[in-house]
Amino acid sequence: MSSSDTLVATGNRAHSHGPGSPVPLQARSERPTSYDVADFAVPNGREEEWRFTPVKQLKALFEDAAGTETPKVDASGPEGVVFETVAADSLKVGKPQDRAAAVAWNHAGDAFAVRIPVEAELTEPVHVNVASLGARGFSHLIIESGRHSKAIVIIDHSGSGELGSNVEIVVGDGADLRVVSIQQGDHESIHLGQHDALVGRDARLHHVAVTLGGKVVRIGTNVRYAGPGGDAELLGVYFAESGQHHENRLFVDHEAANCKSNVLYKGALAGDHARSVWIGDVLIRAAAEGTDTFELNRNLVLTDGARADSVPNLEIETGEIEGAGHASATGRFDDEQLFYLQARGIPEDAARRLVVSGFFNDIIGKIGVPEVTEHLHEVIEDKLARTAELSESAKAVIGQ
Amino acid sequence: MATLEIRDLHVSVDTENGPKQILRGVDLTIAGGQTHAIMGPNGSGKSTLAYSIAGHPKYNVTSGTVTLDGEDVLDMSVDERARAGLFLAMQYPVEVPGVSVANFLRTAKTAIDGEAPKLRTWVKDVNKALADLDMDADFGTRNVNEGFSGGEKKRHEIVQLELLNPKVAILDETDSGLDIDALRIVSEGVNRFAAQGDKGVLLITHYTRILRYIKPDFVHVFVDGRVAEEGGPELAEELEANGYERFLKAGAK
Ligand SMILES: Nc1ncnc2c1ncn2[C@@H]1O[C@H](COP(=O)(O)OP(=O)(O)O)[C@@H](O)[C@H]1O
Ligand SMILES: [Mg+2]
């Protein structure tokens, strides 16, 4: 895959303490977080954390007022899982990091909690569906997995509305929790979400953010560790089409010793003004000896007019680490790959699908939840079919 | 009997300074059962010829014709050319991340034959083709050309040649960068293909070394975008002894 500077901006800040780096992570981690909306001004788009985001389209989710419609939440799961409604402040693992999260926190009302009891091993995934229906609404989910439990929770965000959401995740000591958050709202939908996870001692969190639809979708995922030996695998897949903005912001805060984090986000973009933003912040604090972390973001730009921004930031405050690295690459669709496959008889559209599914292959393999990976394959196929139609009609217009 | 006919082929590429003419009237007829060697110095346009026949979009055919059994090849898309029976073993095979060799070979075979190969025999065929080229069976699970050594990439091209079994094979410097063992293994693959009797082979090479293993019926010396001289195998021997000197002088006028 070749890099292209004309189409694509790739953040090249090798380390946040390097030259040209405006915001050290230490400062970022001290950036105000608050449950009080009034502590955050309405973003104007010039702030560091909003500079990539089309804030003009988000006014409704910045307004400190009750929602016009409560999103519909329904949940199902195998025996053992407990669903209940709890007070918003019953857990407080996450603290809003920006105005949208604070607005959502205050206007979502009670939180919907999914509890996996101590030592429970769930045989089937838990499903939580959040449908936002044509208006402004807020949701608050809590996922709490007990010590030594094992579970998969799939959150499916759909609908046509404007949704502000908070998701708080606690992984109990020695527990193994997989959370898949799917964002597949209608074309006009807007979703600003904040996920906060606290990973217990020797626990394992597998967090997957899949964004497949929506006009503006921005998900912040923040991970902290409650004790040593925690392991967080943070995966993301997105596919932005014409006029869509898909943004993922990660912050992994290594404060405990001997913890691991592995971040892999992959996205494709197709169509005019398709836009993706990926910010990956990893901070290894002085006490976090033995940390092992790696983060990688790759973007595949399928057509002209799309743009991907990718900014990895790694800041290390101790020399006693196992390993730390990051990489980011954004490339255009490689026509040489297409030629090679076609030269073996494979028709162009099938060759294109093969290249794109190859691009996503490793990350889809890592998601490891069959119903999600099957769904992903299907949606990617659909999107590629639409991209092919687009380029066919473009050819027709310019008379090729 | 397949026949590939190239008539008065002119090809240019677009550069920053406008179109650049590379092929200047190539005439070549490769009949089934024949092996032709094209030999020429670097930059003489050998790869351009190969890519133009295969239909690489970078190359613009400005005049001339290419036909396969009378069918207009230039009017076909890249994949149609392959399905019509043309195969290009590339000088620099392309890596396709995330696509396994097994998936790639099966998809290509299905496209070429118009139907999926029978599973039982296909697995055997693939394993045999890999083994014949001295490649481990677990190459099937590797991604196409990703992390392959130069020699493995070239052997993988010949694996594809044998499995897809086209009418005419164009081999663009398949010998370059191979050690002597790999050269022999690759040559044996090409010879097995050619031995079927009705196949055409266009062997593009910079060196005479491979001609010890693959015996051409015709040798064409390629200079400055056209065939400067043609002959039998003895022409290769002359090149072996004297190099391209004589032709370069003539080409420079
Ligand atoms: N895209 C291109 N832009 C400019 N010049 C090119 C391009 N492709 C090939 N050429 C030129 O065309 C000539 C022939 O190249 P090529 O066909 O690769 O030769 P060979 O395979 O015989 O070494 C060379 O001078 C090469 O530099
Ligand atoms: Mg060449």
Whether the CB-CB separation of B153 and B93 falls below 8 Å is answered with: yes
- Residue type at B45? G
What's the domain count of chain A? Answer: 1
DSSP-derived 3-state class of residue A335:
helix
Provide the shortest C-alpha distance from residue A400 to chain B (in Å): 13
DSSP-derived 3-state class of residue A198:
strand
- Is any atom of ligand 1 closer than 6 Å to the C-beta of B44? yes
HEC states along chain B?
Answer: CCEEEEEEEEEEEEECCEEEEEEEEEEEEEECCCEEEEECCCCCCHHHHHHHHHCCCCEEEEEEEEEECCEECCCCCHHHHHHHCEEEECCCCCCEEEEEHHHHHHHHHHHHHCCCCCHHHHHHHHHHHHHHCCCCHHHHHCEECCCCCHHHHHHHHHHHHHHHCCCEEEEECCCCCCCHHHHHHHHHHHHHHHCCCCCEEEEEECCCHHHHCCCCCEEEEEECCEEEEEECHHHHHHHHHHCCHHHHHHHHC
- Taking CA B147 as the corner, what is the angle to CA A366 and CA A277, rounded to the nearest 5 degrees? 45
pLDDT value at residue B155: 97
Q: Which CATH number fits domain B3-251: 3.10.20.520, 3.30.70.930, 3.40.50.300, 3.40.50.720?
A: 3.40.50.300
pLDDT over threshold 90, residue A257: yes
| Partner-chain contact B112 A339, CB within 8 Å | no
Q: How many angstroms is it from A311 CA to the middle of ligand 2?
A: 39
Residue A21 confidence class, pLDDT cut points 50, 70, 90: very low
Average pLDDT taken over every residue of chain A: 91
- Is any atom of ligand 1 closer than 6 Å to the C-beta of B19? no
What residue owns the CA closest to ligand 1's atom 25? Answer: B43
For B29, list phi and psi in degrees, rounded to 5. Answer: -125, 120
Question: How much is the average pLDDT of A368-384?
Answer: 94
Sheet holding B71-72, edge to edge: B18-31, B3-15, B59-68, B71-72
Q: Which alpha helices (H) appear in chain A, and where do they start and end? A: 25-29, 59-62, 99-107, 335-342, 348-367, 370-397
Chain A residues with beta carbon closer than 8 angstroms to that of B77: 342, 348
Residue A24 confidence class, pLDDT cut points 50, 70, 90: low
Of A339, A351, A360, the CB nearest to B56: A339
Q: Does an H or E element contain A216, and which?
A: strand A216-225
Q: Is B33 left (phi over 0), alpha (psi -120 to 50) or beta?
A: left
- Residue type at A115? R
Whether the CB-CB separation of B209 and B39 falls below 8 Å is answered with: no
Whether the CB-CB separation of A238 and A246 falls below 8 Å is answered with: yes
pLDDT value at residue B247: 85
Answer with the residue of higher pLDDT: A26 or B62: B62
A22 in a structural domain: no
What does the alpha-carbon distance between residue A60 and residue A104 come to, in Å, rounded to a whole number?
Answer: 11
| Partner-chain contact B111 A347, CB within 8 Å | yes
What does the alpha-carbon distance between residue A369 and residue A358 come to, in Å, rounded to a whole number?
Answer: 18
What does the alpha-carbon distance between residue A396 and residue A380 come to, in Å, rounded to a whole number?
Answer: 24
Give the Å distances, CA to CA, from A131 to A70, A190, A214, A375: 9, 12, 13, 18
What does the alpha-carbon distance between residue A200 and residue A202 come to, in Å, rounded to a whole number?
Answer: 6
| Partner-chain contact B94 A339, CB within 8 Å | yes
| Partner-chain contact A344 B96, CB within 8 Å | no
Using CA coordinates, name the residue in chain A closest to B83: A345
Tokens read off for A136: 């402004």
What residue owns the CA closest to ligand 1's atom 13? Answer: B43
Of A340, A345, A359, the CB nearest to B98: A359
DSSP-derived 3-state class of residue A368:
coil
- Is any atom of ligand 1 closer than 6 Å to the C-beta of B17? no
Provide the shortest C-alpha distance from residue B240 to chain A (in Å): 33
- Is any atom of ligand 1 closer than 6 Å to the C-beta of B206? no
pLDDT value at residue B7: 98
For A90, list phi and psi in degrees, rounded to 5. Answer: -75, -20
What does the alpha-carbon distance between residue B4 and residue B202 come to, in Å, rounded to a whole number?
Answer: 10
Q: How many angstroms is it from B16 CA to the middle of ligand 1?
A: 14
Tokens read off for A287: 């006490």
Q: How many angstroms is it from B231 CA to the middle of ligand 1?
A: 25
Using CA coordinates, name the residue in chain B closest to A352: B96
Q: Dump the DSSP string for A35-81.
A: S-GGGSPPP-S-SGGGTTS-GGGGHHHHS-S--SSPPEEEEE--TT-
A166 in a structural domain: yes
- Chain A positions with Cβ closer than 8 Å to B: 1, 334-337, 339-348, 350-351, 354-355, 357-362
Question: How much is the average pLDDT of A265-288?
Answer: 96
Report the length, in residues, of chain B.
Answer: 253
Chain B residues with beta carbon closer than 8 angstroms to that of A340: 90, 93-94, 96
Eight-class DSSP state of A299 = E
pLDDT value at residue A133: 86
Chains A–B, number of C-beta pairs less than 8 Å apart: 80
Whether the CB-CB separation of A200 and A171 falls below 8 Å is answered with: yes
Whether the CB-CB separation of A112 and A75 falls below 8 Å is answered with: yes
Q: How many angstroms is it from B40 CA to the middle of ligand 1?
A: 13
Whether the CB-CB separation of A354 and B107 falls below 8 Å is answered with: yes
Residue A26 confidence class, pLDDT cut points 50, 70, 90: low
- Taking CA A130 as the corner, what is the angle to CA A129 and CA A132, rounded to the nearest 5 degrees? 145
- Describe the crossing of helices B119-132 and B101-113 by its angle, rounded to 10 degrees: 120
Whether the CB-CB separation of A148 and A176 falls below 8 Å is answered with: no
Q: A286-318: b or e for each residue (b if 16 or more CB lie within 10 Å)?
A: eebbbbbbbbbbbbbbbbeebbbbbbbbbbbee
> From first to last of its 253 residues, what are the pLDDT tens digits of chain B?
799 999 999 999 999 999 999 999 999 999 999 999 999 999 999 999 999 999 999 999 999 999 999 999 999 999 999 999 999 999 999 999 999 999 999 999 999 999 999 999 999 999 999 999 999 999 999 999 999 999 999 999 999 999 999 999 999 999 998 999 999 999 999 999 999 999 999 999 988 999 999 999 999 999 999 999 999 999 999 998 888 888 887 554 4
Residues 6+ apart with CB under 8 A from A305: A271, A272, A273, A274
- Is any atom of ligand 1 closer than 6 Å to the C-beta of B47? yes
pTM recorded for the entire structure: 0.88
pLDDT value at residue A23: 56
Rounded to whole angstroms, the maximal C-alpha distance in chain A is: 65
Nearest Cα residue to A127 out of A149, A170, A156, A150: A156
What does the alpha-carbon distance between residue B217 and residue B14 come to, in Å, rounded to a whole number?
Answer: 35
Q: How many angstroms is it from B92 CA to the middle of ligand 2?
A: 9
Pairing outcome for strands B59-68 and B3-15: antiparallel
A375 in a structural domain: no
pLDDT value at residue A216: 98
pLDDT over threshold 70, residue A8: no
Is A135 exposed, middle or buried (CB count within 10 Å of its CB: 0-12, 13-18, 19+)? middle
Select the residue from A264, A344, A357 to test the B interface by mutation, using most B Cβ atoms within 10 A: A344
Q: Ligand 1 pocket: which of B9, B13, B56 to mutate (most atoms <8 Å of CB)?
A: B13
What does the alpha-carbon distance between residue A157 and residue A263 come to, in Å, rounded to a whole number?
Answer: 22
Which is the closest atom of ligand 1 to the Cα of B42?
23
Q: Is A31 left (phi over 0), alpha (psi -120 to 50) or beta?
A: beta
Is the ipTM, as predicted for this complex, more than 0.90? Answer: yes
